[in-house]
Amino acid sequence: MTWPGSFRRQETTHVRLLTVLGLTVLTLVVTFFLPPVADSQLAGGAAITIVILGLSWLIGWSGQISLGNSGFMAVGAYAAGIWAHHHTASPLIFTFLLATVVGGISGLIVAIPSTRLRGPYLAGMTLAFAAAITPLAQNFTSVTGGEGGLFFNTLTTPAWFLHFFSGANASINANAQWTADLAVVIAGFMFFLMANLFHSRSGRAMRLVRDNDVAAELMGINLSRTRTLAFVVAAAFAGLGGSLFAIINATVRPESFPLTLSITLLTLMVLGGIGTLSGAVIGGIIYSFSANLVSHVNSLTGVNPTSNLGANMQGIIFGVLLILTMLFAPRGIAGLIQRIRSFIYSRS
C-alpha cells in the first residue's frame, strides 16, 4: 500500500475555506429536513468525525499507530464533564477549549514515552493507556461520579432558534437540530484547521518523517518533536470530540469509552480512508447511521434484532468490514473514489 497524500495539487487556503463553508452550510440545511432522531445521530457523527480527523492525522500522516484515542476522548469528555457539572453557567466555548487543551496535554504525556516506540509497540502501549484510563475514572468517584458518571445540562437552545419551529414537537425538533447544527459547525471548523495542517510546513515534515526518518533528520527536522506534535494534535482533536460527545449526551460515564470504541474509531478511519480528510467525514457519516445499517442488515438476513446475534451484529459487521477493507482496498472509500475519478479523467 502506498501512503496517501504523497502528491496533490496545491490548493489555497481560500479554496479550502470556501469548500468547508459550502459543505457546512449544505449540511446545516440538510439538518432542517431530517427527523429529530437523525439529527441526534448526525450530531454524534460530527463529534466522531473530529476524533477521526485527529486519528487520521496521527496514523496516516505521521505513521504512528494509536489504539488509544478512545482514552484521549475519555480525558476530554471528563474534563468537559467535570467543568460543566460544576459551572453550569460557563459558556460552552470555554468548556470545549478546556477539553481540547486537557486532551492535548494527555497526548503530550502519552507521547513522551511513546515517540521512541515503533509500530506494534506503540499500538500496544496506547491500547494499554486506553485500557487504564476508564478504571481510573471509576476510582476517583468524588470527582468523576464513579460508575454512574456525571450529569450536566449545558446545551440550551437559544430563543431565536426556537422561532424557526412551530407545531406539536417544536421544542424537541428545535433541540435536536440545534445540537446537530452546533456539532456540524464545530466539526466543519476543525475540518478546516486540519485541512490547513495537512498542507502546512508541519504536515509536510510529518510525511517526510513517516516515509524516511533519516532524510527528515538530514533536512533538519527534529524527529521526536515532530512525532510528539502529531500525538498532541491527535489527542486535542480526540479531547474535543469526546467533550462534544459528552455535551450532546449531557452525561459522561466510564462505560461510554470502552476499548471497543478505539476499535470502532479505527474501523471508521480505515473504511473512510487512512490519512484523507474526506475519509474522516465518510467515517463520521457511517458512524451516524451505523444503527440504521445494522438494523437493515438484520432485516435483510432475517435475524431477530433483540436476539443475541442481532445485538452483536454491529461488532460482526464492523470487524468483517475492517478485515475486508484492509485486505482488498487498504485505502478505503476515499481511495476508491479517487481511483474511479482518475479512471474517468484518464478516459476523457
Partner 1 sequence: MSSFLTSSFMHNIFGGLAQGVIFSLVALSLVIIWQSTHVLNFAQGAMAMFATYVGLTEIGRGVGYWWCVLISVVVGMVLGGATERVLIRPLYGKPEINPIVVMVGFLAVLEAVATSIWTSTARTIAAPFSQIYFQSHGKLVLLSPFVIFQIVLAIGIMLLVAALFRFTKLGLQLRASALAPEVARLLGVRVNRMLTIGWMLSAGVGAIAAVILASGSFGLFPTDMDGVFVAGFIAAAVGGLESPIGAIAGGLLIGLAEQFILAYWSPNVAPLGGVIILVVALMIRPQGIFTKSVGRRV
Which residues in this chain contact partner 1 in the complex, by CB under 8 A? 1, 3, 59, 65, 67, 113, 116-121, 123-125, 127-129, 131-132, 135-136, 138-139, 213-214, 217, 223, 259-260, 263, 266-267, 270, 274, 307-309, 311-316, 318-323, 326-327, 330
Q: Pick the closer one to partner 1 by CB: 99 or 123.
A: 123
Q: Which long-range contacts (CB under 8 A, 24 or more apart) does 26-30 make?
A: 27/184, 27/188, 28/181, 28/184, 28/185
Residue in 110, 63, 333, 82 with CA at minimum distance from that of residue 238: 110
Residue 120 C-beta: closest distance to partner 1, Å? 3
Q: Pick the closer one to partner 1 by CB: 3 or 165.
A: 3
Q: Pick the closer one to partner 1 by CB: 42 or 75.
A: 75
DSSP annotation of 311: H
Residue 327 C-beta: closest distance to partner 1, Å? 6
Q: Pick the closer one to partner 1 by CB: 26 or 316.
A: 316
Residue 48 C-beta: closest distance to partner 1, Å? 17
Residue in 252, 248, 238, 247 with CA at minimum distance from that of residue 190: 238
Residue 149 C-beta: closest distance to partner 1, Å? 15
3-state helix/strand/coil string of 244-282 = HHHHHHCEECHHHCCHHHHHHHHHHHHHHCCCCHHHHHH
Q: Pick the closer one to partner 1 by CB: 45 or 275.
A: 275
Residue 275 C-beta: closest distance to partner 1, Å? 11
User: By the 8 A CB rule, do 288 and 159 touch?
Assistant: no
